[in-house]
Amino acid sequence: MNSNAYTIRLASLMRPSEKRADVLADSGIDMLIELREPHDVEEIMSILGLSRATVFRRLKLAISTGAVKKVDGKYVLNDRMWSGLREAMDSIADQRAVADPRVVSGAVIYRNTRDEVMYAYSGESNDRRTAFSVFGDYGMDVWLDTVYYTTSDVDVDICKAFNDAYAVSEKEDDIRLRTILTLFYLKNKELIAADSGFLTTLERIEAGERVPHWPTWADVQARLNDGVA
């Protein structure tokens, strides 16, 4: 067994109950990592690419073991009931954020699950392009120094491209990327099932609110009218 911190923490977490191992199996760890912050079912489905039935099944198991609790319609880690779980998920997330044998050294990782790594790299890769790097396939050419890739075998349709780009924009906190993302959505919204987090932000922008590091509604409208991304 590896002696790194997260492996030791995982082994410790599973000792009190066999059922805990079931919570951590398959996509369980991926979900628990995301639930370090509150998310509703739709958000979990979008982030992890899981079906509604799978999310509900895993949430039911996690709640029954005290790993997760429901607060105001959202699910989050239950720190009081399962001591050490958050620390273990932090350790795994930290490791996944910087390295994965499935991708080239030097890649910047934006999503890392059992089924997929979504990352940016300045060079060529044999993996599929995604996010902003395929916006040109859907009518919006974007010139960026980095290229975004996914190890997923799933075809990168317009919905995946958009939601991968949203994941990038959330971590980069870059107003240019977020402006491109918003324009792309507004031009193709009939075809995109957008992440609920993005839709909430867009509603705030449309209402005239100045959301930090996002474009104003006036700026979005001006760029749409000028046809400029």
| 115 contacts: CB under 8 Å, gap ≥ 6 | 27, 49, 152
Partnered with residue 68 across adjacent β-strands are 77
Mean pLDDT over 63-89 rounds to 90
pLDDT for 12 beyond 70: no
* Per-residue pLDDT tens over the stretch 24-47: 887 888 999 999 999 999 989 888
Q: Which two tokens stand for residue 160?
A: 């995946």
- The mean of the pLDDT values for the chain is 87
* Per-residue pLDDT tens over the stretch 166-194: 999 998 989 999 999 999 999 999 999 89
pLDDT for 158 beyond 90: yes
Supply the pLDDT for residue 197: 87
Supply the pLDDT for residue 211: 94
Q: Give the start-to-end residue ranges of the domains of the chain.
A: 5-93, 99-226
Architecture in CATH for domain 5-93: Orthogonal Bundle (1.10)
Give residue 70's pLDDT band: very low, low, confident or very high (50, 70, 90). very high
